[in-house]
Chains A and B, each alone.
Chain A
Amino acid sequence: MSEYSIEFKNLVKKFGESTVLNDVSFGIHKDKITTVLGFSGAGKTTLMKHILGLTMPTSGDVTVLGTTINQIDELALREFRRNFGMVFQYAALFDFLTSFENVAFPLREFTKMTEEEIKVKVMGLLKSVGISEEAAFKLPSELSGGMRKRVGLARGLALDPHIMLYDEPTSGLDPITTHMVYDLMKSTHYDNIEHGFTSVIISHDIHATLKYSDYIVFMEQGRVVEHLDVETFKKSENPVIRRFLEL
């Protein structure tokens, strides 16, 4: 069995004349927290869209949990996406639903749970991310940025995913809330690790990355510059990484 839950093989993605991902090959370790780091426009978000099958490669393969997702049909891919949880940059909560209904949404869509069971599960998830009962029945527009991220995390966890993806989860948050969200991501990771749980974070935040990640993938101009564990990364002599580390 592979030591990776996600593997990229010679992945190339072009949009017209522009090459956004250029021969990317690496694996994301199973049950670890991996952060994909890089400057804006490095191809991080495009890479994440390939993991989810939201974008298909121009050439190369993306294998997730043993399934080459660019080779399966659309219906199978939709089914397969239930292995993922995702926290978006600005949470992407459905603005017409309360926090409770946002978290209940995937359960109502994909499970045969009764309303009573859904209520128990949703309230449990919201409690685990620090959302009060009062806030559970508020609309996203009535919540702070940090609370929205936490509700987004609870929604991402609703279907017990095997891979959790975070797209710049702390952008727009103050430093204290940023660390609260990272603490929550880390505790979520280790709380779920027994059923197999890989966390992938897309970030710019070098300091939080060094503190909370197991592995770091550094990207620049569509290429993977380094893929190292955190301690080795800190000692990297690569000038681009050194510049990033000295920020």
Chain B
Amino acid sequence: MKSQVEKKIENLGTGVLDMLNGLGTFTNYTSRTIFWTFKPPYRFKLLFDQIYFIGNKSIFIIFLTSSFTGAVFAFQIYVGMKVINADSFIGPITMIAMSKELAPVLSGLVVAGRCGAAMAAQIGTMKVTEQIDALEVMGINSYQYLAVPRIVGATIALPMLSAIFLLIGYGGAWLIGVKVIQIDEIVFSSKISDFMDLGMVAEGIIKATVFGYLIGIIGTYHGFAVQGGAEGVGKGTNMSVVWGMITVLVVDFFLTSFLTKIL
């Protein structure tokens, strides 16, 4: 009979081994997708379809998220800043936060929720219905056909969505700052140009590009990892969203530390 302590140690060991095994599988998957990204044939139609799906079809939700985020953020800054008579700084503070953090991170979370889930569900369903086997039997690499367009599509589309987020967010902040709080329009704009530079915008775009790649790789990985039937697809979809969002938030921290030093 094993003692409670032995069982706990055994469970811990199994957990660590499972985690290492998962990490190995994920690393192997990542390296294979990188290999197949650069190998012909290049399927541009599939890539454009994915950019359209991830980019165009996310614009409405990005519009809603960014306009309200810009407006609410501007209002909260106003509440804080008016105490020290610095409410004219609403514009630059909002725009710096949006360009460096809010635009890439919130766009990333939206895409992880909407598109990462769709990637896992589509690929997972294809796996459990043997459609992936059908591709392989025809001699088509399923990573190249299914994963690469989605990963590259997300890598291209997310920075674009992040830029759109920034522009619409500016609109939300402008509406609150200029039209509601009645800050002079020229002061509002000039403060932004005084305090912001291209490096801040670049930081956001770089982050969004990295997030796009990671969401693509996590979403497709969980699709290919699906096992069983409908329950497996549901589990894969859930894992894709959870890990996609966690990854965006954690990687954001490390990217911020790194990019702040070089930009």
Contact = CB atoms under 8 A, between A and B. Distances in A.
Interface string B99-143: 000000000000000000000000001100111011011111100
A79 interface: yes
A51 B126 CA distance: 22
A54 B137 CA distance: 8
Contacts of A95: 125-126, 129, 131
B134 A86 contact: yes
Interface centre among A52, A80, A109, A159 (most CB of B within 10 A): A109
A94 B134 contact: yes
Contacts of B137: 52, 54, 81, 84, 86
Interface residues of A, number: 21
A92 interface: yes
Which of B130, B137, B140 neighbours the largest number of chain A CB atoms within 10 Å of its CB? B137
Interface residues of B, number: 13
A15 interface: no
Interface in A110-124: 110
A110 B139 contact: yes
Interface string A79-93: 111101010111011
Contact of B140 (A84, A88, A90, A109): A109
A92 B139 contact: no
A238 B125 CA distance: 42
A106 interface: yes
A88 B130 contact: yes
A89 B136 contact: no
7 A-B pairs with least C-beta separation: A92-B130, A81-B139, A78-B139, A92-B134, A86-B137, A88-B130, A92-B131
